Structure 1
Amino acid sequence: MAMKRRLSILAFVMILALALSACGGDESNKEGSDGNDTEAQADGQSQESGQGSEVKGQVAKGKTVATVNGEKIKGSEFNTVLQAVQQQSQKTGQKVDVEQAKNQAVQSLVGQELILQDAKAKGYEASEEDINNRIEKTKSQFESDEQFKKVMKQQGLTMEKYKNQLSEQLTVEQYTEKEIDTEKVTDKEAKDYYDKYSKDAEDAPKYEKVKSQIKQGLQEQRKQKARAEIVKDLKKDGDVEVNI
């Protein structure tokens, strides 16, 4: 009988998240995501800036790593996303594959830019109120305004630059919500998924405690696949050049 593992709720959810990533990873590695996941990773790693290990594969900040319909993506953006990708791998216990991480980072940025351009072309735009609300929500995750400002400085962000980034992120979120319609994950699908990954785990958290995380992860996986198809089509119709 295989040795069973004792898992905390957090560890169990991380394993489920890793499994979800693996299930949906083939397509996203080929085409890249729209950038939403990377944005989330970057938000998470921002509070840990300076605490991680060395980031491998970084490039000069001014280097153009990709051009999307005339819009240049610079090394400064690439390095930030690359750091988030590598830290995410380390958190889940994976060995960092530098070339794979570089490809994931640049494709994520390309996908994000393609989605953003399509969103703007269709009239999506974040309001000032939405941007300010998101800033306040982000600030609330820090112990103080001083800590928030410290992390902003570590990331090389001014408030103006941060607002611009949030504007783009929120615009993409609006686009995703309206343009991407995926079938809702059922309770049965979530339970089947839980049963599959909990059978070899001793003292796994009860299903009800992780049900919402599982459903959210499965739903996001479906959205990722749908976004990947949109990015694939936008690439066909666009002019994309990767220089890394």
Structure 2
Amino acid sequence: MKNYIIGFLVFLFAGILVGCGDDNEKEIEESSEQKVEITEAEKVDETDIVAVVNGDDIKGETYNLVYSQLKLHAGAFEEEVDNNEIKQATMESLIDRQLLLQQAKEEGIEITEEVVNSEFETIKSENKEALETLLEQYQITENGFKDQLKFELTLNEFLAKTIEVTVTDEEVEEQYEKAKEGNDSIPEFEEIKDQLKKQLLQQKTDEALQAKIDKVKEKSEIEEKI
């Protein structure tokens, strides 16, 4: 599984849908052909409390949503998926997710339902077929999608307000030299330097965010119920 759980769940599917072009539509279509089964036994009752984080309950509805994302995504890269590993990663993700939401609230960040609904309608009007395919693939409702959308919008504001990272030209060149080792087909540096810089910025952002969440986690009251 990914090292940075929060970074992994920077809205797995909204990132595909926003500004969706032909290539992304093809990607969704191909990913929808994955034959990863999520049985009823793997799910939990939507009303059950799966964890309590600093007094806030996390319910089965959110667990099922995150579990399906992680399992289907893992299935795209692994021949065999370990359900216990997915369950563990789901719990880690849910706890980190709740801690982030709590920190965002302390920073005065609150995404209203009006904003979420407006964003959802924009996505739906611009990418209706892709949205329907994705909802079916991840076995979620429109309300579940909105819940994740609200999380992503909160996360984006939290990152903008609390995380600041920079990447130097030297770091980009070093990354290029590493990527070039044993890879004769890599494009020239000037062709991909902007892409490499963006990747490094994302990596540093993920690391800084996870470090912030881990620090908060050390002094938090967390109880896993399953």
The verdict on a shared fold, with TM-score over 0.5 as the criterion, is yes
CA distance in 2, matches of 1:204, 1:232: 36
Partner of 2:159: 176
Aligned-partner Cα distance in 1 for 2:44–2:35: 20
Does 2:171 correspond to 1:189? yes
What is the match of residue 11 of structure 2? 40
- In structure 2, the residue matched to 1:229 is 211
Pairing partner for 1:81 from 44, 62, 66: 66
Q: Are positions 1:157 and 2:160 aligned together?
A: no
1:97-112 equivalences in 2 (<5 Å): 97-112=82-97
The answer for unaligned runs of 5 or more in structure 1 is 1-17
Q: Distance in 2 between matches of 1:164 and 1:123?
A: 19
Separation (CA, whole Å) in 2 of partners of 1:108 and 1:192: 31
Q: CA deviation at 1:174?
A: 0.7
CA distance in 1, matches of 2:107, 2:50: 26
Amino acid across the alignment from 2:122: E
- Find the residue that maps to 1:73 and give its secondary structure: strand
Cα separation, 2, equivalents of 1:51 and 1:105: 20
TM norm structure 2: 0.73
Q: Which has the higher contact order (CA 8 A, sep 6+)?
A: 1
- Residue of structure 2 in register with 1:136 after alignment: 122
Deviations 1:145-196 (A, max 9, x none): 25534544664323x55444423321221112111122x1123212211221
Q: Are the counterparts in 1 of residues 51 and 225 from structure 2 also a CA contact under 8 Å?
A: yes
User: Any idea what the Cα deviations from partners look like across 1:19-39, whole Å, max 9, x if unmatched?
Assistant: xx6xxx3xx4xxxx4x35314
CA distance in 2, matches of 1:81, 1:107: 10
Establish whether residue 119 from structure 1 lines up as the match of residue 101 from structure 2.
Answer: no
Cα deviation for residue 55 of structure 1 reads 4.3
The corresponding residue for 1:201 is 183
CA RMSD of aligned residues (A): 3.3
Counterpart secondary structure, 1:67: strand
| One-letter identity of the residue aligned with 1:220 | Q
Give the whole-Å Cα distance in 2 for the aligned partners of 1:137 and 1:180. Answer: 27
C-alpha separation in 2, matches of 1:219 and 1:206 = 20
Shift of 1:123: 1.1
What is the number of residues matched between the two proteins? 210
Partner of 1:3 in structure 2?
A: none
Q: Residue deviations 1:198-228, cap 9 Å, x none? A: 3212422333443333222222221222222
215-224 or 125-134, which moves further after superposition?
125-134
Mark the runs of 5 or more structure 2 residues left unpaired by the alignment: 18-27
- Which of 19, 44, 48 in structure 2 is aligned with 1:60? 44
Amino acid at match of 2:156: E
Q: What is the distance in 1 between the residues matched to 2:7 and 2:65?
A: 14
Quote the Cα distance in structure 2 between the aligned partners of 1:234 and 1:116.
Answer: 12
What TM-score do you get using the length of structure 1 for normalisation? 0.69
Once the two structures are TM-superposed, the CA of residue 115 in structure 1 deviates from its matched residue by 0.9
